[in-house]
Chains A and B, each alone.
Chain A
């Protein structure tokens, strides 16, 4: 390797004089080749350094390419759903997709109303957040401020394992264990319903919420807490009145990340939500079956011929999902950026 970057001029001078000394006497240190690079070698080193850097940059940019490709292909496959005829027809299609709640792609007069699916996704997402956010917040408080170091070392792997269990295993649990239990002990007509999916999604969103909000709370420095304690506040008061307000952006980011996890989850809702494509009425009745966007894609795509209307419609559902999560992601990015600034000491 002839890479010789970042060599300070002073060092270069020293090498040069050593080389001159080496010419008159054999080098004491046993250098066999001149230490000073010739101009061509220097140039080569410079070039290879920069070329290598460019190559590394290109490899790093694959993530950008991947994001671009994902957006490109999902949009390309969903575009014919809207833009197959005239502009007013396209607008009517878009209106139908977002306001009609009838998803009947197999009917003789197919209807592609995505409202019930979007509502279904929001339904289980909010249901899971109602359960997961308070629990996750308390667990994060426990881990960041209450638990002694050793206990934390035990708790963290537990939460990691909770996060690592694959979604299909949770779905399996929901169908085979939780649904019969719901049916038997709570007397629901079906065990696979919105409640089941929400509870399981809450379990899945918990690890994300806990770890991100714990990071946010730890990022609020010791001084803030000590100031609060010095004023005579108890730990509970310090947490509720000082640390949580100070860490609010990080906690919000945690909630959003948990929401993304719940919304993008496929297997659990596919297996546990019952897949009935309608909006529950009355709206608070969690014991009814619902259908989400992810489950619709997973369930329908297998039987859909390529380049059919139904196929494009499913990609449109995917695009909606992608846009939802992408915008949520940008918000969480912004919020986490704020947390980074606080932890670095800026305001």
Chain B
């Protein structure tokens, strides 16, 4: 009995340990899958005609003639929608109407002056016109349907009046007729409600199709174009079709979110057909097409990541990591070689080892502080946060990683190699350079790749030493300038840069506009993770090949 309990306990132990490893693998999946699923949509997505327009405007990509045809087709499809919207807003928004009516009255006065009408007739005509004007204005002001209709009819009764034939007064009657139509369909008591709804509808239409025809071009690029992607277009369509309201169920009860179809809000009005029309012709209005937007990895952003890609961020990360490797690799490999091949076990070596381990344990933010105090402030040749300071800081951070990895690789070279080389008469240095380092090469390379990925992912050390969220691409000059002044090639090193790691932070937490475009947020992080995964998988593959080779010996 006891044995059974012990054995089942043992089995449970095994199963639990196994499930913990499964759990960890699961966590890895939970972290990575949403990043990749949402991040890839920054590159693979369904574009709309607005996106093609944007690409043509900014980067001159695509075929101009087909785009023009497409834009014409889309404009034709959108026209009825704009017409509905315009007609309805005319009926509702009284201010422009009142202005229009007053305008007509003024025009009529000018018209009479122009005609050199005799004074008596002039006053008479003016008086009559003024009467019509006031009845219409009364109608426009009133909320009561009966009053409105009575006033309008009164005004329209003057239509046959020969005095006003072919004069601007005729415009009064068109206005009155139009308004009569609206007044018959629209519940005038709900006018302010309709107006608020109309504002939302217009905003949604703007989000879908860009600025309305006849509107001024908005200053921000994000407002200049409609929905460039189908997922964003569907979101805008949702706000167009459905209204989210927070309604209290009763006095003292918490607010509840309710989703109401806008169509029901506008039942019976001129606006009602708009919703069905947009929903049914959605594809014809936007002309969607699948797209592999590889330029995401080279484009600069537009309007703080609302459009565009992350090219400068990738460039900055590559610059920072490669530069830091340039500084760190020679020191790291030489240190490792010395520690394995030459160092005896004395107190100095012990101190060096303790220092390497200390370096590995220093928190990354303290590296940032150190970089700020030393490279940025103390070294006056640098003097301000820049790429050089940031990559120097990073190089100290990865130094212990490189030393440890290279040490391990050099230690793994079989002792027989050394003996064979020494037996051939080579000195210790020559053995190191010609035999040991080449044999340890793949292992050292693995270490370098791993520290490259470490440097690419670090954010805290570069926070104060040379990274910015938004700034110009570092300018390394042109070949012509290099000829004139060879030092100018290094000018870029003294400028701050953007980087994927800090960008991922900023786009998630710091940047307000980016919150509207989750694909951009996830796209940036996905690129960073992708870069690091590729580096790590390369390192793992090299190492597994190497271990096979070493086992073969």
Contacts and interface: CB of A to CB of B under 8 A. Distances in A.
Interface of A: 1, 3-7, 45, 49, 52-53, 56-57, 59-64, 66-67, 69-70, 73-74, 76-77, 135, 138-139, 141-143, 146-147, 153, 155, 157-162, 164-173, 175-177, 203, 206, 234-237, 239, 257, 260, 263-267, 270-271, 294, 297-298, 301-302, 306, 314-315, 318, 321-322, 325-326, 328-330, 332-333
A235 B12 CA distance: 11
A140 to B, nearest CB: 9
A264 B363 contact: yes
Contacts of A74: 366, 369-370, 373
B209 interface: no
B136 interface: no
B293 interface: no
B335 A168 contact: no
B248 interface: no
Contact of A166 (B14, B373, B532): B532
A263 B363 contact: yes
B508 interface: yes
B400 interface: yes
B373 A325 contact: no
Contact of B355 (A64, A135, A235): A64
Contacts of A175: 508-509
B533 interface: yes
Nearest to A56: B338
A176 B522 CA distance: 9
A294 B429 contact: no
A47 to B, nearest CB: 13
Given A62-B399, A236-B9, A142 B460 contact: no
B422 A77 contact: no
A56 B334 contact: yes
Contact of A321 (B7, B348, B365): B365
Contact of A322 (B357, B362, B453, B536): B362
Nearest to A166: B457
Given A67-B358, A135-B24, A203-B31, A264 B366 contact: yes
The 9 A-B residue pairs with the shortest CB-CB distance, nearest first, are: A166-B457, A264-B363, A236-B13, A3-B427, A234-B10, A142-B17, A266-B460, A329-B361, A73-B373
B459 A267 contact: yes
A61 B338 CA distance: 10
A169 B528 CA distance: 8
B429 A173 contact: no
Contact of A73 (B21, B35, B352, B370): B370
A297 B369 contact: yes
A54 to B, nearest CB: 10
Given A157-B540, A328-B361, A164 B373 contact: no
B337 A56 contact: yes
B338 A60 contact: yes
Given A67-B358, A70-B362, 19 more contacts: A3-B428, A5-B428, A60-B335, A64-B351, A70-B367, A77-B369, A138-B21, A158-B25, A162-B28, A167-B364, A168-B502, A169-B31, A203-B27, A206-B24, A264-B366, A265-B363, A266-B363, A294-B365, A325-B363
Given A142-B17, A237-B6, A301-B372, A325 B362 contact: yes
A60 B339 contact: yes
B525 interface: yes
A6 B425 CA distance: 9
B322 to A, nearest CB: 17
Contacts of A164: 450, 453-454, 457, 532-533, 536
